[in-house]
Amino acid sequence: MEQERKYWEPEIETMPADKLRKLQEERLQEIVAYAYERTKFYRRKYDEAGVKPSDINTLDDLAKLPLIEDSEIRHAPMEDKLSVPWEEVYQCCSSSGTTGFPEPLALTKNDFQIACLDSVARLAWTIGIRPSDRVQLTMGLPCLSQMPPLIGANTMGEQAGRGNLDNQVVLGNMMHVTVLLGMPSIALTYFERAKELGVDIKESDLRLILGVGEGLAESYKNKAKDEYGPVFRDYYGASTFGEVASECDFGGGMHICADRVILEVIDPKTKQLLGLGEEGELVGTNLVRRAIPRIRIRIEDVAKMLPYEPCPCGRTHPKLSKIRGRMVQLLCVSGKEFFPIDVEEALGGILGLGYEYQIIRDKPEMSRLKIKVEYKPEVKDLAALKNRVEEELSQALGVDSEAELVPKGSIGRAMFKAQRVIAA
């Protein structure tokens, strides 16, 4: 039976390491030659670097290719980076625009069906979505909305409720949805609103949250599971680069679609390659996208490649850690650097706090961490809670902090990505 399948693509997902490496090298040689021959952008970059496609034979040769800045390819003329005639462009979308104006993206039919849609299905299957599920979508990306039917699951699209959160909550409960797909911060708002509407998520059929687009601290996942019931699992993809990795039942990092993407980790300052277990900026090469090749692109997300250990699930592809944040989100307080998710990790374990918080950045380098965080209505001793928050942040991050506790509902809810850092 379909629901008894263990893997989406068994032969690929359980491929021995030596065979996987050989496949990666074949695809790497192919995409580098293709990009050089078909695009002005890569031909110019490789000529300037003095490297030819024939120089790339093994994964170790990848380092011979120049790093591509995100802004560099983002602002390149479309005709310079597009490798196919416009008639072969099957799907158009864009980046989210988190760090600037959205980059227009073009996909061939194969790009969309294999590099996007099939990859999403594989990663969703890894997370645990099955044909017996009813998946409610809270964001409208084409590859995500077409994934459930490809798997065989039922779908409640974003149009159900016409984008109205109250309607989505009530309809989701009426239709016994089992999986919520969207931004983790939106899922938390969904839970919060359900409680206000008298819908008990713990008593509903909702069991799993496939969180995309932003990270969520482990302490927040545990807190939400205790309070509401569903399990959050990590998924990592970037519209400008591709669908990358997701977390299986056993956790311990996210399985990478290593037959389709290659990840490297560099020191963002020196640009030197880092080893397994060392955290830095991700650099990505997509081995199967063709319309606009993505080879050694600085993704600007921070994570680490994990040392290999056999996973009980049986998948053999390497694992990626949780994404800690984007380089533009890096906070510097009294000489210490950390990301909003590090703050979130500390807050999630404090009783009496809600889920919403904001970090107040009043200058690039701050002398103390300033934070605004919501407290739950049942809290009576705000002074004690404020002291607890400041002590926990100081202990976790090693910096002085100033916490402002505000009533639930004081911080606006995001309709797309949560804005955890705001200017003073």
Q: Are 211 and 235 in contact (CB under 8 A)?
A: yes
Q: Are 292 and 88 in contact (CB under 8 A)?
A: no
Clarify whether residues 108 and 253 are in a common domain: yes
In-domain check, residue 203: yes
In-domain check, residue 338: yes
Clarify whether residues 335 and 402 are in a common domain: yes
In-domain check, residue 123: no
Clarify whether residues 132 and 86 are in a common domain: no
The pLDDT tens digits for 206-254 are: 999 998 888 899 999 999 999 999 999 999 998 778 899 999 999 999 9
In-domain check, residue 339: yes
Clarify whether residues 209 and 287 are in a common domain: no
Six-digit token string for 71: 């802004």
Beta bridge partners of 320: 254, 305
Residue that terminates a domain, selected from 294, 312, 328: 328
Coil vs helix vs strand at 306:
coil
Give first-to-last CA distance, the chain, whole Å: 57
Clarify whether residues 67 and 101 are in a common domain: yes
Distance (Å, whole) CA 199 – CA 95 = 34
Clarify whether residues 101 and 250 are in a common domain: yes
Residue ranges for the chain with pLDDT beneath 70: 1-4, 95-100, 140, 414-417
Question: Against a cut of 0.95, is the pTM above it?
Answer: no
Closest CA to 397 of 336, 324, 326, 318: 336
As for how many domains the chain has, the answer is 3
Clarify whether residues 324 and 335 are in a common domain: no
Residue that terminates a domain, selected from 236, 270, 287: 236
In-domain check, residue 119: no
* Gyration radius from the chain CA atoms: 22
In-domain check, residue 206: yes
Residue that terminates a domain, selected from 299, 328, 357: 328
Q: Are 408 and 373 in contact (CB under 8 A)?
A: no
Q: Say which residues have a Cβ less than 8 Å from residue 239's Cβ, sequence separation at least 6.
A: 93, 94, 95, 96, 105, 141
Q: Are 190 and 229 in contact (CB under 8 A)?
A: no
Closest CA to 320 of 312, 328, 311, 330: 311
Clarify whether residues 183 and 152 are in a common domain: yes
In-domain check, residue 121: no
**Burial class (CB within 10 angstroms; exposed 0-12, middle 13-18, buried 19+) of 174:** exposed
In-domain check, residue 276: yes
Clarify whether residues 87 and 180 are in a common domain: no
Helices and strands per DSSP (H, E), number in the chain:
14, 21
Range(s) of the domain holding residue 227: 128-236
Q: Are 264 and 282 in contact (CB under 8 A)?
A: yes
Clarify whether residues 338 and 324 are in a common domain: no
* Confidence at residue 319, expressed as pLDDT on a 0 to 100 scale: 98
Residue 316 is part of a domain; what is its CATH number?
A: 3.40.50.12780
Clarify whether residues 110 and 245 are in a common domain: yes
